[in-house]
Amino acid sequence: MSYTLESLIEQERELELCYFNQDVAWQLGSCIKSLAEQKGASISIEVFGFGQTLFQFCMMGSSADQLDWIRRKRNSVLCYGKSTYYLSLYNEGKKRVFETQPHIDPNEYCAHGGSFPIRIKGSGLVGAVSASGLASLDDHELVTQALKQALDSQKTQ
């Protein structure tokens, strides 16, 4: 799929959850794991909310540095309030690399797709859901697929 900045902003608006708690974090993380297994991918997953890690899983064959990528992706989402895929495309459009800007510490932040803001309708940003191990776009799509499934589940309750 091809995204524009506008379509990513719309995606963030569409994927605001009705509610979020530890059970939803488990649902999101488990869903991403299942989607990755269907693709035969070995990734690491984190669901972070309310200042703490609520779900974390490293699949067989994943690498240790994936958790560091997740931490840096999560930091970017929590700081800028946008998905890391959005941050990547935004900076690409400005003909610059996010991590090389003077005010960005590349040891703490990155703009590689795969981390997405968790927002509750009417409440704002409460966390981030992240995956690492695939190409930037593929990590982004795993996370957004899981958020869409969680939101669809909430709407039918």
Q: Is the pTM of this model over 0.85?
A: yes
pLDDT at 47: 98
pLDDT at 18: 97
Q: What is the pLDDT of residues 79-123, one digit of tens each?
A: 999 999 999 999 999 999 999 999 999 999 999 999 999 999 999
Q: Which tokens belong to 55? A: 């779900």
- The domains found in the chain, sorted by start residue, are 5-155 (3.30.450.150)
pLDDT at 84: 98
Please, are residues 46 and 129 in contact by the beta-carbon 8 Å criterion?
yes
d(CA 56, CA 98): 26
List the chain residues with pLDDT less than 50. none
Helix (H, G, I), strand (E, B) or coil at 59: coil
pLDDT at 1: 76
Please, are residues 34 and 135 in contact by the beta-carbon 8 Å criterion?
no
